[in-house]
Structure 1
Amino acid sequence: MPHSIRFRLTASLTGLAVAPLLLVGVIFSVMNYSALRQQALVEQQLQAQRVGTVVSSFVHELASQLELLARMHDGFTNAPAPDQKWVLDELLVFENRFQELSLLGPEGTELIRRNKGAIVLTTELKKYAGDPAFQHPFSSGQTYFGSIHLNPDSGEPLMTIGVPLHSPLSGKTVGVLLAQARLKKIWELLASLPVRDGETVFLVDDAGAVVAHPNPSVVLAGSHFDLPASLPGFRQGLGNGRVALAAEQIDLGRHSLSVVAQRLESEVLALAHNTLFLISLLMLAALATAVFLSILAINTITRPLHELASAARQIHDGDLSKQVGYISKDEVGELAMAFNAMTARLGRSMEEMADEIEERKQVEQALTQAAREWSAAMDASADLIYLLDLNRCIVRANKTFYRATSTSQETAVGRHVIEIIHPHGEPIPCPVCRAQEEKRDLQLVMEADDPDNPVGRPIEITVKIVRDQAEQPLSILTTLHDLSSARASMEEKAALERQLQQAQKMEAIGTLAGGIAHDFNNILAIILGYTELAMTDTNREDCRSHLEEVTKGAQRAKELVQQILTFSRKMEQQKHPLQISLVLKEALKMLRASIPTTIEIKHNILSDATALADPTQIHQIVMNLCTNAYHAMRETGGILSVSLDEVELGDDFAGAGLTPGRYLKLEIHDTGCGIAPAIQEKIFEPYFTTKQVGDGTGMGLAVVHGIVKDHHGHIAVESEEGTGTSMQVYLPITAENPADPATTDAPEHLDGNGERILFVDDEEQIRRVTAAMLSSHGYQVTCVANGQEALAEFSQRPENYQLLITDMTMPAMTGAELARRIIALKPGVPVILCTGQSDLINREKALAMGVSEYLSKPFDMQTILRAIRSSLTKSE
């Protein structure tokens, strides 16, 4: 419609503003675009030349330093080696830009090498006869510049520079001074170089390798860049995107370096884009001018547009409820209706958008928190956890993985997992490949000796394929779980259970042994008592001989009971500071007399330390262990070695029940037949023996085990069949000094003078035999069967009795309780307490409560007579 408002406004704006300005803007933009491109190439070429001049000066200055040294020290080649080393050391100290200096002889042999950061041994000197670093300066007499390489220790860029050394007399080349020049300053120069946005300056060698870059990681990553044939120009640069590229070549003889300056094309043309933007603004201004002129010209037409603009401004300020009230059937009316509809729709859209943005924020926060928690959980795990893409390259991993593989997130992410776990590249079965091929999750165990095991310990490998909603693989989650600690815990638990079972078994046997000891001792007391009475009453030699054999048998039975009580640790012991070496030497003397000469005895006693011990039981330990060693070598002969030394035990012996500290180590070693592994755990059990019938009771090692445990020690065995056995006994060292041996003279006169004795025992035969023995030696004895009768008897006539002898274990009232009450009735009255075996009292407790003497059954006549005489003497 040519007469419509739209037509007139469009024609006016196009004719007055848009068309001319658009034409001018296009022409200007094209010219500006071309000029900016050309200017950028010129600037990049100048930048490359400036940097090339600096780099060339730096490298040639280093060469000049070496050449100066060669010229200034004309006698350098003929100087003594110490002077030559001193000169090189001084140059390294003075000139920090050299890492290493070497002096090469005319045959290319390295005579001296001095390094700034390390001491070079003579054996580390090399031969450079075939190396261009020697051949070029030696043959041509010109300075040699090598290619840039990286220090394998520090990663710092180095360049090999060689200058010829001339003889001061003949002028001939007699050697080469070789230097490893540090080019870190070039890296620092590039890093500190003032550049514009998007601009990068770097160096490449004649092979195209990037040797210097503001970002050292680009060099360390082994980046490569091939220079185009025609430069400067716009080309594909180092990295992504097109750049304005220029280069300046630095000639270094056999090698060359190129300084490359590049700037992103987008940054170069930024001004052109800004110009285009200004032209667009100008066009908008022209359009606004046209509208203004149209308003001045056609006031009736622009009035509704003013109202529309006012509504638009209110909507721009945030009032989306504003509606235009202009109603007309022309284009402005249609525009007003459309505007109102748009405003309403925009209001709804804004509300929906606000809700959606809030919802997305919440989801984003939840995802961020979940990712943080997942990462923390992964890092806290002791397992190796890593996520792979479908090409089996590392996407992410936990800290345990990085520690185990000596990598980091920067060096591991993006690399193939085989390169990290098997860096040597051996072909191995890959669980991840298998899971991908079978399209399922995978779990398997690799033992430590498996050649495919990447860590050398038993591990459990779990491969989980992560899938999307359509069940398509997205990534692969792999977990390596170390089974070493779990298996060690299981083995330790099994060992502890075996120890507990052994201890419970030993305790049960000990309890049973202790239970029968009391009754057995009572029986032995009766046998010994009547035998001694019979020997007193007869003069027939044959009868006395028979009775002596009975006494010997009873004494052997007594010793057996003592072994049983020792094994069960219920035998009363007298422990005091004891010098173990003295007991050991005494036992070895006895052994030498009883062991045949086919067995050589060696001893190595290195300690005189003391331990809290019972000398009789220590002697029994030595005799039992040496006797067992002798039996193991009885038929073949061999060497019995006995040693005593001090050791320091730590927490690793806590499992054996030992506290850390100093211990005496008694070791008894034989070269006999050894002990089979299957029975080593049984050798300390009572009555277990591998000897023939009649050669032993099976109680020896059980008794030794009980004695050692009661002395808070430990016994260990090491044995191999056919080689021999070593028994190791550990006893804690005490700081107390051994007591001086006491000398007590036994009373010369043991018979009584008619003293009255009250004797208490629940065994009738013991009462009879004891009364008979004491009566035959001048004592008046009154016997009662229990503590209550004894208390009643003593309470009625306390002045009639000078001594009380009582058994410990009796019904109704124990001997200890009876002793307390008797002493309370008549303080100072001597009391002798006898026991076959009791868990309720020991010697210390008995003496502490006022008892005069403490006797263990069975006792012979001389023992009880000495105890009576001693008690009566003390009470006088």
Structure 2
Amino acid sequence: MLKSIRTRLTLAFVSLAIVPLLVVGVVLSVKSYAALRQQALLEQQSHAQRISTAVDTFVRELERELVLLSKGYGFSHAGGEEQKWILDELLSYENRFEELILIGVDGTELIRRHRTRIITEDSLASRLNDPAFSIPASTGRSYFGPVHFDPANGEPLMTIAVPVQSPQTGMTEGVLVGKARLKKVWELLASLPVTSGETVFIVDSAGEVVGHPNPAVVLRGTHFTLPDPHLGITNGLGGEEVMLAAERIDLNEQFLYVVAQRPVAEVLALARSIVGITLLLVLLALLAAVILSILAIGNIISPLRSLAAVAREIQQGDLSRRVELDRDDEVGELALAFNAMTDRLQVSLEGMAKEIEERQREIEVRKRAEEALRENRAMLQQILDTVPQSIFWKDRESVYQGCNRVFADDVGLHDPELIKGKTDFDLPWPREEAEAYRADDLEVMGGKEVKRHIIEPLQQVDGTRLWIDTTKVPLLDEHGNAYGILGVYEDITERKRNEEGREKLEQQLRQSQKMEAIGTLAGGIAHDFNNILSIISGYNELAMLDSDPEKRRMDLEEVRKGAERARDLVSQILAFSRKTDQERQPLQISLIIKEVLKMLRASIPTTIEIRQNIASDSRVMADPTQIHQVIMNLCTNAYQVMRETGGTLAVSLTDFDIGEGEYGYADLQAGHYLKLEVSDTGCGIDPAIKDKIFEPYFTTKPQGEGTGMGLAVVHGIVKSHKGHISLYSEPGKGTSFHVYLPVTETEATSEPESQLPEVLIGNGERILFIDDEEQIIRIAQSMLTNNGYQVTGCSSGMQAMEEFRRNPDQFDLVITDMTMPHMTGIDLARQILAVNPAMPIILCTGQSELVNRETALDMGCCAYLSKPILKQTLLQAVQKALAGK
């Protein structure tokens, strides 16, 4: 590295001097070199042009001599001996021809004369296919052949042929051929003046050297490939680097190149000398710049060295040293500034020593505080590890920053330090649970509020799934921004298992309570059934006695109405005793109240008056069965307290609004509610037991008359529907229960009415009808046969299956009862569909817990009918099933 300022300044000054000198020298050298090179190329090209002109003139002179001879009148009309004499004279006069040949119009040699040899007439040959004859004879122009060598002496020759034409007609009468001696060209090349070191030679179109001042080069058969372009610096004929120029000589079908070359060393000698002189001048100028720079820089560096020496002494600790320079330039200002800086440094170091001593005392205090903090953290970790709940805390990215040992044991790592730095996705629970935990974290940090009682699953490392109750608290900094969360959860698996068991038990108790209510109503229902049976039996006897058809029809119509009343009563009992809850739906409670009161009127004493005030048609989102159970339970309790004394059972349904801030309605939110009120004029409730009235197993009835679950079930149902129940009672005057349920604006869904077929008469279709009641079989056969169908009846599923297997194609439709001994209707339908999957089947049932409309349609049945089945309903189902087939 160049650390010395003297060296760097010297280099800077020298660089400032040498760059312009180098630029000038290089530019001059390049320009001179380029100019001399271009001049040499032009001279070389000029020499080649001059020599090519001389060679072209040489060849063209020989052509002209042959043309003049062929056009002479005396030659073309002379006899053969005279023509021989003329050719011999030309050979003796013009020694540049080696041989002259006269060819007749038919291509045969007529005369052939050689410069040194005698040619006999026996050696004359046909030249019909020789280009030297065919081209002049056909085109009327001269022909120049390729250069070839005389096999006798190796001399290069070129064939020149011209047409012999008649002076009168201009017609071609033969061809005159001359073989030119190119050795004369060698002599011409040797005689031409050239520049020192320059060589001129001739190359034919095939690249053969056919002319050279040194004949040995030609006789060796030297080959030379011309560069492209034909002007520039390249490798010459001898392989050395030369400056070369070539000019082309066009001789009709043939062409030659005259090449002039000169060694580059001789051509560019002057240019290289100029470049060398320029470089020498640049070096001399550089040397002068170095000497001047050293002298100038020495005057600048000397005071700087003194300044550096003082700085080294100060660095070693001697702050008393100062720079002693008396100058009025920038170096003097630097010395003054350096001395002032040294003064301030001395003061600063003295103050720094005191500051260091204070900082050391602070570090000691901080170390003691950190040690105490570590001890507190260790104690806090021990406290957290003794807590039975799982505790953890995370940062904003839900990365665990710590936990207690209970949490680590749940995860399966058993060491809280192994939890740090991990996320929920790194721990052994499923990804969907990790995503749920992350969502809770974001919700707590985003809302900056505590989230309690998050009931969620947690999977341990061994695959065991726990239920945990989690509370998450946002961790806030001094600005109120959340930087993480603190979580605490408790294993509630056992508690949840107990709650599920309790819910199952409550469900069973609710069902038993419903059955108890039905038992209570059994007397009234039996009374209602006896009335219905009396109506059916009475009108049936009247129909048998009446001879008037119109009266008989009216009697039978009353029988049919009685059967429908019995069917409706059975449907109400089945709906009330159903074990499974239905899905919640928009429900008009007024309809259920009317249905319940209709049932009660038939079962309670006439000494109890029933009053109803249905003033609302609003809907609630509710389970119809559970609402039916609530109303039935409250009404049953009401009439039971009045069955000995009589009284009034009042039921009302009204709209009710709860405003903001109103009290007395538990946790109900402000809004629109439906208020159900069930009142009695019984003995009332003792205030001492009023608070226990909704507790499970609490009852005021004598032992054996109640389970104590009625009002507890009602309370649970109302709460599950986000409602509220309260009571008001005065001893001796009666009790009133108030139920509030939130109103919904959702419209009640209704199934579209089915389109009845216009034609219900059959076309002889064959129907297999199965029922274990013979009377039902006979009724069905009569209904269907009278309407155009063929009916085969069977009293059991096995009998029907045997009948069907004998000939599966003989039936168009199967109608079967559900509840039959040995084989149910479902089993029969499955076996029939296994034999013929396209067979339409109608399933009928009076009541079954095994199948409903949905399951029947899902397994392949085309219709589901509830007994008792009216004729019109049966015919419509048959018509629709056959149409679907």
Q: Considering the TM-score relative to the shorter chain, is it more than 0.5? A: no
More relative contact order, 1 or 2 (CA 8 Å, 6+ apart): 1
TM-score between the two structures when normalised by the length of structure 2: 0.31
TM-score between the two structures when normalised by the length of structure 1: 0.31
